[in-house]
């Protein structure tokens, strides 16, 4: 049976909400994004070790640092779902990995 990490999911929703707060304060949003971009990228790398975290952190950093209408993308939640369905959580208990690379 798959193990759904409710705490990580809720944390992802909260962190996406924080990233979207810059829309609430016109004029200050760009400054908030410049501060939030490296913080959010670092959090993603820490929450999802390996390539998943590095790629998601890079995407989140670029999404936040580039001015425009990209702040609405829920990168934390999308990364959680990607990790849940393709990462270690995607196998059922007792199921053997298909290759040795999955053991790492």
Is position 19 within any domain?
A: yes
Is position 103 within any domain?
A: no
Is position 102 within any domain?
A: no
pLDDT tens, residue by residue, 62-71: 988 887 767 7
> pTM of the entire structure?
0.78
Is position 96 within any domain?
A: no
Is position 18 within any domain?
A: yes
Phi, psi for 22 (deg, rounded to 5) = -60, -20
> Contact, 18 vs 75, CB < 8 A?
no
pLDDT tens, residue by residue, 30-54: 888 889 999 999 999 999 999 999 9
Is position 98 within any domain?
A: no
The parent domain of residue 77 ranges over 6-90
pLDDT tens, residue by residue, 78-103: 999 999 998 765 555 555 555 545 54
Q: Which helix (H) or strand (E) holds 27?
A: none
Q: What is the mean pLDDT of the chain?
A: 82
How many structural domains does the chain have? 1
Is position 99 within any domain?
A: no
Reading the block at residue 4, the tokens are 């759904």
């Amino acid at each position: 049976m798959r193990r759904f990490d409710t705490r990580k999911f809720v944390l992802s929703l909260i962190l996406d909400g924080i990233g979207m707060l810059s829309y609430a304060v016109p004029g200050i949003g760009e400054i908030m994004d410049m501060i939030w971009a490296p913080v959010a990228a670092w959090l993603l790398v820490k929450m999802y070790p390996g390539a998943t975290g590095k790629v998601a952190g890079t995407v989140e950093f670029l999404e936040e640092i580039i001015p425009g209408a990209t702040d609405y993308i829920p990168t934390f939640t999308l990364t959680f779902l990607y990790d849940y369905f393709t990462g270690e959580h995607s196998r059922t208990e007792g199921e053997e990995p298909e290759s040795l690379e999955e053991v790492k």
